[in-house]
Amino acid sequence: MNHTETGSKYYLFSIVCVAVLGGLLFGYDTAVISGAEKGLQAFFMGAQDFVYTDTWHGITSSSALVGCVIGSAVSGFFATRLGRKQSLFWAGILFFLSAAGSYDPEFLFFEKGVPSFPLLLAFNFYRILGGIGVGLASAICPMYIAEVAPSRIRGTLVSWNQFAIIFGQLVVYFVNFLILGNHANPVVEVTEGISRILNPEEAAWSITTGWRLMFVSEIVPAGLFTCLVLLVPETPRYLVLTGRHEKALSVLARINGRAQAETILQEIRTTVKVRTEKLFTYGVTVIFVGIMLSVFQQIVGINAVLYFAPRIFESMGMGDPMEQTVLMGVINILFTLLAVFTVERVGRKPLLIAGSLGMAVGALGVALNNAVGGLPAIAPVICILIYSASFMFSWGPVCWVLIAEIFPNTIRGGAVAVAVAFQWIFNFIVSSTFLPMYNMSAGDMGVRFGHLFVYALYGIICILAALFVWKFVPETKGKSLEDMNRLWKKTK
C-alpha cells in the first residue's frame, strides 16, 4: 500500500512517541530529586567552608525550577528561530549534560568527594541546565504533537504527553528504589537549630555514591531521546512558516494521505502571511486565556499535594503514608488514561469543568474534616484521592492540549512560551507557600487551622477555575489549528 496516498498511522504514532519521550524526561528530571535529596543533603553537610542549612537544601532541591522558568521563557525564541525539532534536540542535550554534571559536579575543577560551597554552586548549575531542558520540553513537546497530529485525534495524542510525564515520575521512583537497594538513607535530625546525621556509618554509601547514581540514571532516556529526535521530521506548520512548502506537503502526505494533505497545506498557507506576527496580533483575550489556563493548573494546588503527599497522608493518621502515596500514583495513571480516551469524545471544556468541580469536592471535603474533626481517618484520604483523580482526567492533560492548540499558527511559539513560563512561576509559588500555610496555627484549633485553611482555599480556587473555563475557554474539539486564526479574529 502506498502510504503517501493513504497516510500511515504507524508513521504518525512513531514520531509522536519520540516527542512523548520528551514528556517522560520532563517527569523523570523533576522527580529524580525525591530519591536523591537525603544523600545529597548529608553530603553537603560535610562541607568545611560553609554551613549547609535547610534553606540551602531547599534552594538546591528546587533549583531545577529556576531552569524551568528560563527554559519555558526562551522556548518561543527557540521554537521560532530553530524550529520545533531542533529545539527538542537541544532539550535532550541539556537533559544529558545535567545528568552527567549532577553525577560528577567536581569534573575538571574540584577534588572528587570533597563538599564545598563552590561545588554546591556547580551542582546547582547542572540542575538548572536540566531545568532549562524541562522548560523547553514542557512547551515544545505538546506543540510538536499538536502540529503534526490530525485534528480528529489531536487531543488524544497530546494527552499522551501528560501520561508520559506521570509515567516518567513513576519510573524514576522505581529506579531510585532499585539503586538504593539494601543501603540506608541518612537520617537528619535538627537539635537546637543544628542539623546532624544520626546514622553516618550506615548511610555512607548513600552519602558518597547513591545520590550520584540516581542523577546519572537519566543519561539513558536522555541519550535515547536526543538520538531519536534526529530521525523525526520538522512539523508541517513550521515548514510552511519558513517557506518550505514542498517539504511540508511531503510530511502531511505521509501522515494524512496526499489528497487530504493538499487541502491541509492550503489551509495552513492561507493563515500564514508572514513568518511571525506580534504576540497581541489577535488581541489580548487569547493570551489571557492561555496564561490563566496555566495559572489555574497550578493554583488549584495539585503540585503541593503531589510533592508533599507522604507528609499529608501521615498527618491524617491512617496506615503507611508511602503505601497511600503509591496508591495515589496508580490512581493518577488510571485517570490520566481516562482523559486520553475521552478527550476527543467528551471535549475539552466538559472535562475541565467536571475535573474542577471534582477537585473542589475533594479539597473542601478535607477542609470539612479538619473543621469538624472526629471523622474516620479514611474520610480525608478518600477526599485527597478524589481531588487528585479529578485533576488527572482534566487539568493535568487537557490544559496541555489547549495550550498546544488554541494559539494561531503565527504566534504559537511565543504565546506558548509565555503561558508555560507562567505555569512554572506559579508552580514555584504554590510549592513554596504550601507548607507555611499548612502548618499555620490558630487558637484552640492549632495546626488543624492550617489544614482547614489551605484546602478550603484550594477548593474555592477550583470553583473559580470551573467558572473561568465556562466563561472564557473555547471548545477546540474537532477544529483544525488554522481554525484558531479565524476564531480569535472574530473575538478580537
Q: Is pLDDT above 60 for 144?
A: yes
Residue 316 burial by CB count (10 A; 0-12/13-18/19+): exposed, middle or buried? buried
Q: How far apart are CA 59 and CA 77, in angstroms?
A: 28
Measured CA to CA, the distance from residue 148 to residue 154 in angstroms comes to 8
Amino acid type, 440: M
- On the CB side of 64, CA atoms within 13 Å amount to 24
Residue 126's identity, in one-letter code, is Y
Q: Is the pLDDT of residue 2 over 80?
A: no
All three cell numbers of 357:
468541580
- The mean pLDDT value for 362-382 works out to 79
The answer to whether 151 and 479 are in contact (CB under 8 A) is: yes
List Cα–Cα distances, 389 to 117, 331, 393, in angstroms.
42, 6, 7
pLDDT digits (tens, 9 = 90+) for 181-221: 888 777 777 665 567 777 878 888 988 898 999 999 999 99
Q: Do domains 3-232 and 284-491 have the same CATH topology?
A: yes
Distance (Å, whole) CA 319 – CA 332: 20
Position 146 scores a pLDDT of 85
Annotated domain spans of the chain: 3-232, 284-491
Q: Which CATH architecture is the domain 284-491 placed in?
A: Up-down Bundle (1.20)
Residue 266, phi then psi, degrees to nearest 5:
-65, -40
Q: With bands split at pLDDT 50, 70 and 90, how would you rate the model's confidence at 118?
A: very high
The secondary structure element, H or E, covering residue 190 is strand 188-191
Check whether 102 has a pLDDT greater than 90: yes
Main-chain phi, psi angles of 189, to 5 degrees = -120, 140
**Confidence band of 1 (pLDDT split at 50, 70, 90):** very low
Report percent pLDDT > 90 for the chain.
27
Using alpha carbons only, what angle is made at residue 148 by residues 142 and 150, rounded to the nearest 5 degrees?
105
Whole-number average pLDDT of the chain: 83
Judged against a pLDDT cut of 60, whether residue 447 lies above it is answered with no
pLDDT score of 145 more than 70: yes
Q: How far apart are CA 70 and CA 77, in angstroms?
A: 12
What is the 3-state composition of the chain as percent helix, strand, coil, each rounded to the nearest 5?
75, 0, 20
Q: Which amino acid is at 109?
A: F
Pull the grid cell for residue 383.
Answer: 477526599
pLDDT band at 459 (very low <50, low <70, confident <90, very high): very high
| Percent of the chain surpassing pLDDT 70 | 87
Query: Which pLDDT tens digit goes with each residue over 301-345?
Result: 887 776 555 556 666 665 655 566 667 778 888 898 888 888 888
C-alpha span between 68 and 88 (Å, rounded): 14
Rounded average pLDDT over 387-398: 90
- Between 481 and 29, the more confident residue is 29
Distance CA 112, CA 114 (A): 6
Least confident span in 32-36, 114-118, 173-177, 270-274: 270-274
User: Residue 382 is placed in which grid cell?
Assistant: 478518600
For the stretch 409-418, pLDDT in tens is 778 778 888 8
What integer pLDDT is reported at residue 215 of this predicted model?
93
Looking at domain 3-232, does it have CATH number 1.20.1250.20?
Answer: yes
pLDDT at 480 > cutoff 50: yes
Res. 256: pLDDT tops 90: no
